[in-house]
Every structure is written in structure tokens, then in C-alpha cells.
Amino acid sequence: MTHTTRTLVLEIGCEELPSSFVDSAIAQLPKLLTEELARHRVVHGEIHAYGTARRLAAIVRDVREQIDNQREELLGPAESSARDAAGAWTKAAEGFARKNAVSLDALRIVETPKGRYLQAERMLEGGPSDAKLGEVFASVCARLTFEKSMRWSDVTTAFGRPIQWLLGLFGGAIVPFEFVSLASGRETQGHRFLSEGTLSLDHADRYVSLLRDHHVLVDPEERRRVQGEALQNAAMSLGGTLVENDFLEGEVLGLVEWPFAIVGEFDHAYLALPEELIETVMCFHQRYFAVRDAKGAMLPNFITTANTALDPARIRKGNERVMRARLNDAKFFVEKDRAETLASRRDRLAGIVYHQKLGSYADKVLRIEALAAPCAAVFGADATAVAQAAGLAKCDLVALTVGEFPELQGYVGRDLARNDGLDAQVCEAIAEHYRPATADAAVAATRVGAALAIADRLDTLAGFFAIGQRPSGGGDPFGLRRAALGVLRTLLHHGVRASIRALIETALGHFVGDKFASLDRAKVRDELVQFIRERLEVALAQRFKIDMVRACLETFADDCDPVDIVARVEALDSLRENASLSQAAVCIERATNITKDVFVSENSVSLRRWVSEHVFALAEEQALQRVVLDVEATVAGAVAESDYKRAVRAIAEGLTDPLETFFTKVFVMDEDVGLRDARLRLLKLVAVTSASLCRFELLSASKQ
């Protein structure tokens, strides 16, 4: 059967919406439309959502004009509840029929996998799709949610911003519906400044092109491309390159419907200020883009995206005036701060509460200083430099510049340390110890900075776990998940081997005094190790198969050396497509399960000695004995050298065939105790050898 289709379009015209509201609505619209159309059994094709500050829209392609009739089977209560002892329908059955608008004659008992249940059939009538589309649009509008909503006039329904118009078309026909006392039509609005009058849309297929003709790029991707080209061309006109900023790009994208780049400039003398400060003023406070020359030096210019090309000179003049005022304020704060040494501020940290139960920032600094030496040893960093940076890292919290620009913590400290003539690696570490600031941000690049960064985070983790402030569910008010991930990412980035357990024990050791007299350090340590292991599992699961990650993590539950664990997972992943790996996993799982409760006190050395000296009678036993001894020696050497790929290959390619033959030909649990024990010891050596690399029995996905 051939079905005729049309395009469906919805537009909600609003007063100016914040960028985040537009992004949220664009993400919600396809899901809401899919659900509402499905509820009314309207068949359709792709859904595309659009939006600007003045409008939210969606286009649904290939919407069928007709809703087909549909036979529906409804399952009710069990037969025991639906019929009484005489076989008559019960009140439960009658209620089921009434609820679903079917007669008692339509009820029957059917067999299901769960037993005998009441069932009814009903015919859902079809009809023209356009009879349902108004209800679909009204429901979608009502279900849109925003971070904050408004009510206006006498309207009781809340929305992100007051709604000015509603457009709904199915092909060329209006989809009639009402929302917030407004009726839909075919009218829309072009650009606020570059288009005049109300626009009439004759067909849904021409929605995007009509708006484009009237200076509205409603498609965010098209607008992003045009905006990007305008910004890049403006930067090139200055002989420089644009400083990319994903946050800023998204922000300004939601503020304009027809991007127009405007270049501004500021006094060259302001370049003496810290560059991070200039960029913060420019990007996060004024929504301007920075520009750098070919050598990477910042230019005394900025680029902004305006929503109109009318009178750009006036816009530029206003932007420059605001920028000059903001930079003047910043210059005042910097000069006042530079008049005082960074170290002289340390005493004032005693007046800033870090946490009521964990003391002041002065207390935190003392604990970080105590962690400096062990963390420096992990990274092979200069312990003296790490300790000096630890003592100064939080001192900029009392600086005027940080009070005005809190996002510059660390950068202000670095600037003041440089002003004091301190060692370059100490200065850099002060800025770097806040990295990574987010899950995807760069980690501390220098080893001194990396050591200080994990010292700070280890103190945070140990402290909050010590007072029982662990994350629960989706709540993590102190950012402990982010702190744990920061420790892991820093260690992995620098490729340094470290025992998470030992570092946590050291950090917990600095929480002393009456407040921590009853602290069960061993329990807290184990909980925190488990917490960090869980973060590592989540992070690695984004790159590798989860069964491989867990197989390696389970092997080193106590120590949890992240770099070592990642190397093991990478080794398994390198043989992911090798059939021998999945076959070996099956055989090793069997060997592990059959021997898990025997010879638990014996290590690989004693097992190897016993197996090497024992005389086996069967050829299959002898073959496995030779292979196991060779593989055990190879794996032991490879693991000692951290050559895990060689170890995995030795196990997967060496053990598979002789193990399969052994299990096929040899009855392990023989009545003869001597034969049974000998065979179990042989298999126990297989299990112990493979477990030195990972828990092969957990490689479930590899075996499927």
C-alpha cells in the first residue's frame, strides 16, 4: 500500500531565550514529538529540531496523512482473579473490560509463558492524521521544561519566556491548536532588525528557506558554520588567529539569528596584565573572542558576534568602552595585589573556613605540605619545589583579583609568585594544581604541578571520606568524583606507577586530633580505594569492553595501580579479535571454578615445584604439564617486566588446545584421591598463572 506523506512543522515564537534554554529545548523536542506522535499512532520519518533566541522549532518529515486501523491485544489479570469458582467473570474482569472499553463477550483466557491470563482484543480506528496533530503540538508545548520558567499576564501556564506566536503547518494546511491563550497559524517573524513585517509560510517544506531569506538562520549547525567563518575572517583581517572557545561559541550562537562579526581593540598597555585575566574579562564576562598572532602572542583586539550589521561602528564603540572599563578594574586589582608578596597572605588563610569539620584553608595547606614529599616521589619531582608550591598554592584566595574573578584561582597565584621572583617551576605548579578543572580538561603538564595536584585532591578525598561526606546517588556537592578522576587522569597522563592504597593511607594519616580520635582509618581507606577503583572502571569502560576492565581490576583489588591496570587492559584489548583469547577464557574459567576451593594456601612457586616434579601417566596430562610449566615461566617473566601483551599471548595461544584436550580426555574428579589431587594441582597452576595477569573467568563478553 502506498501512503501519501507531508512535512510537519511547529514553531514557538518567544521573547529572547537564554542560550542554555534554546539548547535544552532543541534536545527535548525530537523526543517529545516522537512520544506524542506514537501515542496517536501517527507514522513519520526523521525529526529535526531548530532554535534561536526568538524561536523554537521542529520539522517532522514524511508524516503519513492517514492513521491505519490497528488490532490491539490487551492482557488482563490471571485466570484465578478473572473467573470465579462457577466460571463466571469476576469484578476484576468486568473492571478490565470497562477500563478498555470492550464488551464482556470480547474477553477470553489465553496461555502465556507466565500462565493463563485474561485477554481482550479491540480495534483501534484510524483516520486522518491532521485530526490528531493539534493535540500533539499542544502536548509538546506543555511538556517542554526549562531551568527556570515564567508566567505572564493572566496566563497560568509557565514557559521559558513569554510566547508571542505559534506556527503549525501540515504541508500547506494549518494545524489548529492553542497554547497559553494563543491560537496557531501560518504566520512567523523574520529577523528583528533586518526584516520587516509578519511573514506568511505557505508550506512546511519552505520553513527554513523562508526564514533564511529574511535573515534568520534557524538551523543551529548552519548558523554555527556561518558564525565560524565570520569570526575566522575577522581574525585573519587582523593578521591573527581566533582563540577557540567552545563555551563562548555556544553562548554567542544562541544570542544571534544572523551572525555578524565586529572587531574591536583596546590599549596595548593592558597586555601587561596576565593573559588569563584578559581572556577571562574578554570571554566569560563580555562574550568576546580573543585573537593571537602567528607566534601565539595575544593581540590588543577582540571579536564579537552581533545580531545585526546595522551601524557596526556604534556597536564597536560601545563594546570598546565596556572592555576598557573592565580592563581598568582588572588593572587596579592586579596592581594592588602585586604590591604584596604571595607568602605574606598565608596567615590570612586561617580566617577562611575550608569545611567546618576539616578546619580552615591554613589547615588544608599544612596537610598538603605534608603530602608533598610522597607525591613528589611518585612523579620523580623536586620535593623542595613541590613543598614550596604547596605552601603558597592557596594564598591567592585572599587576593583582590580572585575576589573579583574567582575563576582565576591559581593563575593569580602564579602571577604573584612570578612577581615575587620565585622559581619558575614553583610558579607554574601553583597554577597547575587546579588541573584538571573538569572531566575533559587538561591535566597538570609539569611533574611538580602534577605532584601538587594529586596532593591537593588526595587531601580532599581523604578528608571528606573521614567525616562521612561520601557521594550518594547523583549528589556530589564536594566534587569528590571529579577529584578522584583528576588523580587517576594525572597519574595516567604522566605514566607513573603508584599505589593508590599507599597514597590514601598517607593522606589519612594527617587527619589527627580529638575530632578524628574514633576514625577507623582501615575502613575509610578501603572505602576510598573502592571509590577510586569505581571511577577508574567508569573511565576505562569508555575505551574498552567492560568485562576486560573488570577482569584486570579484580586482580589488583588492594593495590590499584592505575597505570599497571591500564597496561593489562590494553594487552587484553590487543587480542580482542583473536579467537584463542575467548577459547582460553572458557577453559581457564573451568579450571578456576573446579579448583577455587582447593590448595588455596599454595602459591605459584610451590605449585610449580610440585607439578614439575610429579610424574603423570596419561599423554594428555603430560602435554598439559609441559605447556603449563613453559607458560608459567613466560608469564612470570613478562609480568615482572610489565610486558603484558606477551603474557596474554602466551596464555591465550599456549594453554587453549592442551586444556581443551585435557578436559575432553581426562576425568579430573577421579575416585582415586592421588590421581584427583594431582590433576587438581595441575589445573590450579593454570588458574594461578592466569590470575597473575587478570581474572580470565570474567571475560564474559569475549566468550560470546
Query: What percentage of the chain carries pLDDT values higher than 90?
Result: 68
Per-residue CA distances from 129 to 46, 70, 171 (Å)? 17, 14, 12
Confidence class for position 25, pLDDT limits 50, 70, 90: very high
Say how far apart CA 596 and CA 590 lie, in whole Å.
10
What is the DSSP code string of 635-694?
HHHHHHTT-HHHHHHHHHHHHHHHHHHHHHH--SS-SSHHHHHHHHHHHHHHHHHHHTT-
Average pLDDT over residues 571-597: 87
Chain-centroid distance of CA 134 in Å reads 37
110 pLDDT exceeds 90? no
pTM exceeds 0.75: yes
Q: Which tens digits make up the pLDDT trace of 414-456?
A: 999 999 999 999 999 999 999 999 888 899 999 999 999 999 9
Say how far apart CA 80 and CA 491 lie, in whole Å.
63
244 pLDDT exceeds 90? no
Average pLDDT over residues 59-73: 84
Confidence class for position 346, pLDDT limits 50, 70, 90: very high
Pick 63 or 576 by higher pLDDT: 63
Nearest alpha carbon to residue 410 among 245, 281, 277, 298: 277
Q: Which tens digits make up the pLDDT trace of 446-490?
A: 999 999 999 999 999 999 999 999 998 778 899 999 999 999 999
pLDDT at 703: 45
> Cell numbers of 662, please?
585435557
Backbone angles phi, psi at 311, to 5 degrees: 55, 55
Residue 236 contacts by C-beta under 8 Å, 6 or more apart in sequence? none
pLDDT at 704: 41
pLDDT at 557: 57
Q: Which tens digits make up the pLDDT trace of 488-500?
A: 999 999 999 999 9
pLDDT at 360: 96
- State the chain's mean pLDDT as an integer: 91
Of 22-26, 395-399, 593-597, the least confident: 593-597
Average pLDDT over residues 328-334: 95
Cis peptide before 436 (omega within 30 of 0): yes
Contact 678, 527 (CB under 8 A): no
pLDDT at 558: 62
Cα three-residue angle 664-667-673, rounded to 5 degrees: 160
Query: Which pairs from 449-452 meet CB under 8 Å and 24+ separation?
Result: 449/389, 449/425, 450/379, 450/381, 450/490, 450/493, 450/494, 451/372, 451/375, 451/376, 451/378, 451/379, 451/381, 451/386, 452/368, 452/372, 452/375, 452/386, 452/389, 452/390, 452/393
Q: Which tens digits make up the pLDDT trace of 136-148?
A: 999 999 999 999 9
Give the strand pairing for 107-112 and 66-67: unpaired
What's the full length of the chain, in residues?
704
SS3 content of the chain, % helix, strand, coil (to 5): 55, 15, 30
What is the DSSP code string of 559-597?
T--HHHHHHHHHHHHHTTT-HHHHHHHHHHHHHHHHHTT
> Cell numbers of 399, please?
587576593
pLDDT at 83: 87
Average pLDDT over residues 248-269: 91
382 pLDDT exceeds 70? yes
Q: Which tens digits make up the pLDDT trace of 169-225?
A: 999 999 999 999 899 999 999 999 899 889 999 999 999 999 999 999 999 999 999
Confidence class for position 82, pLDDT limits 50, 70, 90: confident
pLDDT at 515: 86
What is the DSSP code string of 412-459?
HHHHHHHHTT--HHHHHHHHHTT--SSTTSPPP-SHHHHHHHHHHHHH
> Cell numbers of 253, please?
550562537
636 pLDDT exceeds 80? yes
